[in-house]
Structure formats: C-alpha cells, structure tokens
Structure 1
Amino acid sequence: MEQGAWARAATGAVRRISRFWVLVGSLVLIFLTSLLFSLRGGGRLYMDPAGWEEVRRVKLVPSYSRGVQPQHLEGAALRTCSCHHCVGDRGASRWFDENFDPDILPVWTEENIELPADVYYWWAMLQPQFKPHGLRHVLSRLFRVIPGHSPFGPRRPSRCLRCAVVGNSGNLLGAGYGHTIDGHDFVMRMNLAPTAGYENEAGSRTTHHFMYPESARNLDPNVSFVLVPFKTLDLLWITSALSTGHISFTYAPVKQFLQVDKNKVQIYNPAFFKYIHDRWTRHHGRYPSTGMLVLFYALHVCDEVRIRFLACRLSRRMFVCQSQKVPISICTGECVWLWRGSKRELAPLLGGEPLLRRVPQNRCP
C-alpha cells in the first residue's frame, strides 16, 4: 500500500512538472513569435503612424494646470501672429519651447481660483501671516468688486499685439526712447515708474502698471492696475481699497482708498509666479524680481515684446545687457543667471542679441 501511494505521488509530481514546462515553453514561443513579427515589420499595423506622436503630444504641467492640455504644433510655418517676431511661434528656440507654457494664465481669475497645494504653500510662505484667511472666500468677495475673468484672448495669426516692458533705470536718461515706447500697443511699467518730466526718455503712455500694496498709487482711468500679491492680506487690501477702506496697514502703511478703474484691475496669478520661479529662474533667489514677473507676463499675453532698461542693484554692481537695437538692463541675481545661461536663446525673441557688461555703482538708480 505504501509503495502504491508513493508511486501515485511521484506520478502527480511528474505531471505537475510537465505542465509547468509546457506553460513556460508556450510563453517563450509566443514571445519569440511576437519579436520576429515586429522585426519583420508586421507590428507596424499596431503602431501609431509616423508623426502621430508629434501631432498628439500633450504637455502635463505639474502644479500649474488642472488637466491635460494640447501642445502646440511645432514648425516655423505655423505663425501665431502677424508681427515680425512672434513670441508664440515654435521652432526658433528649443530651450524656449521646452520651458514656455502658453496654457498657464498670468492673471488670477474665477476659472483658476484653486491653487495646487504646492503652489499655495510656496506662495503663502513668501510673507507668512499669523492670522489665517480662507483664500477661496477672500477671492470670491474680491471678484464681486473686480472682473473675475481674463481680459486676454487667444493668439491669432492676424493679430500683432506689440508690448514694451519699461524699467525704472536711470540709464534711460538721454536715451530718447520715449516716442518708440509710446508706439507700442501695451506699455507696461512697475512700482513708482516716474514719467512726468521724462517723456522723451521713458515715454508718457502706460497701459499696465504692476504694483504691490505698499507701492500702490492712483492711476488714470485708462490704465490697468495689476496687483502682485504676496499674501492673502494683499487680496483683502485691494478689496478694501476699492470699497470700504478699512485696511490701511499690512507690514507697512498702504493707501486706504485706491483711485483706479475697477474694471481694469487684475491679480497676478501665484501659479504663474511659481512657474517663472521653477521654469525660468530655476530657484535663483527666493522668488523672481518684479522685472521678471512683468517680462514673462508680457511674453504670455503679447505677440511681440521689447524691453527697455529693467534694472536694480546687485552686490554694488549693475549688470547691463546691451544690444544694437534694444538696450536691456537686468541685474537681479536670477536675471543675470538667466541671461548668462540662455541669452542666445531668449534674445532673438526680444529683437536683439544682448551682450553682458558691467556699469559702475554710481550709475545705479
């Protein structure tokens, strides 16, 4: 009896081993057949046709967009505007194309009211507050006072929206660019931006003025006020300054009431803020300078961009980028880094080839 049981057990084990090797052999045969089929070209029936990847490629932008958005088709033949240099055209610079995201809006609206968690925590720590505020509730109240939508439409091949970004550098004195600056469709300035008495150098027109609560001032009715917020209190302040006037201090005294056109007030998008910090300045400094914020705002809403003397101090020196056609002065740490590393790529999009040089301290504004 014991011998019979042992024989039956041995037979069962042999059968199981046989079935195992039959299964392994079948899998190997299927793999080899599939490999041979692919090498001989038969697998093309199951592959995307040539060029399909380029046409259907999508761009996932963590933290900035809430879904999958189509990438623009590559190729110089696809013009996005009728200007000579179109910022939205692809193919002029691989570096620029890889970093430029045309789908992220520089303006904070009801459509992009929700900030991704990493964007919110980065932005909230720029100027930490002890008193918490419900961000969505604050924005909902604000968008009852100002427009909650973007004033900008998509790029069109028939459009040529030309923009000038003007800094506050003393190097504008004697340059005589006032008439040229005023000839643009949009003229963007920041903070104090004096023009009275400097019309010949800096121009007299302003269409967009970028300011913080602490640098805010009254504007003409035809000028868009673009608030660059660093904290939720800044959003409470602009709501107050356009209505009740109950806020007169943040970390410094601020205007209790602001005389601007409410319908032309825009809020700078913190997600766009962080996009510049991540993609363009690569975390040089705690956050991008005002000049960088305005420059990339223009690159995203305009078809053609010219910049005139963006300047500031950097360790007792000023770094100036100078081209034959476009004088450029950028000297914050991250700006210097950007132009040193990528000036050959970005310069053609701004109308010239900049050369980096130094200017003595006494010429800083």
Structure 2
Amino acid sequence: GSKGTVAGAGAWQWGGDRGSRTGPGSMRCSLRVWVLLGSLALLFLTSLLFSFSLRGGPGLPYLDPGPDWEESRRVKLVPNYAGSHKPVPAESGQQKTCACTRCVGDPGVSDWFDENYDPDISPVWTRDNIQLPSDVYYWWVMLQPQFKPHSIQQVLLRLFQVIPGRSPYGSWDPARCLRCAVVGNSGNLRGASYGPVIDGHNYIMRINLAPTVGYEEDVGSHTTHHFMYPESAKNLAANVSFVLVPFKTLDLLWITSALSTGQIRFTYAPVKQFLRVDKDKVQIFNPAFFKYIHDRWTRHHGRYPSTGMLVLFFALHVCDEVNVFGFGADSRGNWHHYWEQNRYSGEFRKTGVHDADYEAQIIDRLAKAGKITVFPGK
C-alpha cells in the first residue's frame, strides 16, 4: 500500500542502495525534503488535535460548551436592552443622558471613550444572555482551568432557580441622576475623612474584604454592592447586592451550593460552606463584560483586569455619575490596604497578573475625559 511505498522510499533514501543514484548533493536535498515534509505533517496533526479539542473532544472534557455555543461569535445582548441607552437630545442641542452635571453616557465629550464604550453589553450574567459567544467562553474557562466536565448552561439554569437571574439595571433616563461611589481598598483612604461623602451616593460599591466597622469616618458605613470571589466571600446585610466575580464554573457551583445545600467547601482554597446574603440581590458578573474590559480598555495588558477595573467599568455601565475612592498608592507611594497596619507591606501590588501602571493610566484618562472623578486620598 501507500504506507509501504513511503516507508520503502525512506529506507532506500537513507540506508539502502548507496550507488550512483544518490550522490552527496541529492542526499542533502532528500534530507531537506523529508525534514520539510515531517514538519508539515507535525503541524497538520497539531492543528487537527487543537481544533478537535476546541470542539469539546475527549482530550479536554471541561471545555465542552454544548451544541448551541457556536451560534454566535459576538457578545449576546440582553433582549430589550440593546439600543436602550441611546442618548436623548436636549433643548440646548447637546445630548444629555441624565440629570447630573456630567453624565457617563453623554456622547461627544471624548472620542477615545465613545470609540471604546459599548453601553449595550450587560455587566450582569442573566437568563437572557446565558449563552456566551464561544471566544468569550474559551477565554474565560482558561483563566483558571478546571479539569472537570461541566455543562455551563445546566449549571447556570440550576443557579437561576436559586437567584433571580435578571439584570436590575435599566436604560439611561434624562430625568435621573444615579450617583455611584466605587470604593477601592487603598491605604490612601486612611485619614482622608471621605466617609460622609461616600455615604452620600445612591450606589456604594466595595471589593473583597473591605471592612467598614472601625473605619466609618474614612470609608463610610453604607454599602449597596459588594463584589467578591468565592475565596473572599463574607456574609452581607439584607439590603446589599452580592456580585459574584466568577473565574471558573466551580465558582457558579459554589454559589448555588452556598445558598442551598452547602456541599462545596473547597475550590482551590477553603470557602464558606453557607453564605448569608439576600438571594434576591445576588448578581453574577458577566464573563462577556469581563472580556470586553480586557479587549477594549486594558488592551490585554496583564493576564486579565484587576477587580478594581471590573467594578469601575461595572459602575460606568449602570451609573450616571461615577466617583472613585481608594485606588492607587498613598501620598508616600506605598501600596497597602487601608485596614493594614504596615503601610510598607506592598500587598496591594503583589498580584502579578495585572498591569497596575497601565490601569492607573486608564483611570487618569477617564478622569481627564470627565467620565469619572477620582478622590486622591492621603
């Protein structure tokens, strides 16, 4: 057969008849030809195996997105949400999207912002946008690969039996001024006395541990949204929205378990078996929105955006006015959390997967464009 012919040809070229048919020049030529053919075959096999694995083959069962995931390559928009943020022309001729002095959604203020900002991508993962585009899905699951087969849609449908699974955020309203405080954990909050200013906002968004008891004068006492991972989760008051930032399917299994059976006690670290939060206020950060920030804003600097950036852009998509507190170093250049006693610990900057300097540039640029106001702290 053909395999025998190829093998025979190879044997003849390399070790059989060394007569007049194969001089030194043709031997070198044959070697190059066979090396080239071998390389092409290896390349073909590699690409074949890779494409097979991306189709959910047995090599990578945890990457099985189900039969419907290939339907769409672009971010799914929430029904009745797409286009709902179109600005309303004001009498002055300028378009106003809210009743605040400066509104996030007002177009024509910054070309850079307008080019990158997509108001129709929902920051919340819901029943309506349950299907992720395949490119988003594969990027997301590779952030923290879990080598276990899970049907993501089945996991989400189970979760949405426990929590509402819908977005509570509506469209722009020219009569509304929804003011939001994004409160980071920087040590520059210590001694800044921002508490009353922060508490004066409609939405107050906090991240991970973020204690308020004992720090009310500097960081405020109210919270409306708390963004956490399973590994940083804590119980919350009944009026606070718990926004889960999921990095893996196991995180979705955990939140379902923590609000019901308590089966999961460990992800890559011990996690709370049960979580006391208001189930009706639990929201899931949308991986499509996560990737949108990575692609459009942080521009692939760092492996993925920091939680601070995720929360900041969440606010930029649900609020009319965004004020930022507790980001960056303190006035002496130290990176630490406001509840840490050692200001030289540098804990804030040791993440390794984020580009803190590039993210600081984005925040600065957003401030210069008039889309956010940054309170520098001390």
- TM-score class, shorter: 0.7 to 0.9
- How far is 1:116 from its partner? 0.3
**1:275 equivalenced with 2:289 (yes/no):** no
Aligned runs of 1:46-125 on 2, under 5 Å?
A: 63-65=74-76, 70=83, 72=86, 77-125=94-142
Count, aligned residues: 284
Structure 1, unmatched stretches of 5+, are: 1-60, 320-329
Deviations 1:151-210 (A, max 9, x none): 111110000000000011111111000000000000000000011100000000000000
- In 1, the alpha carbon distance for the partners of 2:157 and 2:363 equals 40
Equivalent pair of 1:145/1:239 in contact (CA under 8 Å): yes
Identify the residue that residue 357 of structure 2 maps to in structure 1.
336
1:239 aligns with one of 256, 275, 283:
256
1:146 aligns with one of 133, 141, 163:
163
- In 1, the alpha carbon distance for the partners of 2:144 and 2:202 equals 34
Alignment partner of 2:96: what SS? Answer: coil
1:266 aligns with one of 262, 283, 289:
283
- How far is 1:268 from its partner? 0.2
Structure 2 CA distance for partners of 1:225 and 1:342, relative to 1, 3 Å: closer
- Bigger radius of gyration, 1 or 2? 1
Q: Which amino acid aligns with 1:239?
A: T
- In 2, the alpha carbon distance for the partners of 1:98 and 1:150 equals 25
- In 2, the alpha carbon distance for the partners of 1:215 and 1:352 equals 26
- In 2, the alpha carbon distance for the partners of 1:130 and 1:261 equals 31
Equivalent pair of 1:82/1:160 in contact (CA under 8 Å): yes
- In 1, the alpha carbon distance for the partners of 2:183 and 2:244 equals 17
TM score, norm. by length of structure 1? 0.72
- How far is 1:66 from its partner? 5.3
- How far is 1:73 from its partner? 5.8
Equivalent pair of 1:162/1:186 in contact (CA under 8 Å): yes
- How far is 1:148 from its partner? 1.4
Aligned runs of 1:282-301 on 2, under 5 Å?
A: 282-301=299-318
Q: Which amino acid aligns with 2:250?
A: L
TM score, norm. by length of structure 2? 0.70
Identify the residue that residue 24 of structure 1 maps to in structure 2.
none
Identify the residue that residue 227 of structure 2 maps to in structure 1.
210
Structure 2 CA distance for partners of 1:67 and 1:267, relative to 1, 3 Å: closer
Equivalent pair of 1:85/1:351 in contact (CA under 8 Å): no
Structure 2, unmatched stretches of 5+, are: 1-71, 337-347
Alignment partner of 1:351: what SS? Answer: strand
Equivalent pair of 1:95/1:345 in contact (CA under 8 Å): no
- In 2, the alpha carbon distance for the partners of 1:142 and 1:67 equals 18
- How far is 1:72 from its partner? 3.8
Q: Which amino acid aligns with 1:237?
A: W
Equivalent pair of 2:191/2:218 in contact (CA under 8 Å): yes
Deviations 1:258-312 (A, max 9, x none): 0000000000000000000000000011110000000000000000000001247
Structure 2 CA distance for partners of 1:183 and 1:138, relative to 1, 3 Å: same
Alignment partner of 2:204: what SS? Answer: strand
Equivalent pair of 1:81/1:303 in contact (CA under 8 Å): yes
Structure 2 CA distance for partners of 1:213 and 1:113, relative to 1, 3 Å: same
Q: Which amino acid aligns with 1:349?
A: K
What is the percent sequence identity of the aligned residues? 64
Structure 2 CA distance for partners of 1:177 and 1:123, relative to 1, 3 Å: same
- How far is 1:64 from its partner? 1.9
Structure 2 CA distance for partners of 1:199 and 1:152, relative to 1, 3 Å: same
- In 1, the alpha carbon distance for the partners of 2:252 and 2:124 equals 14
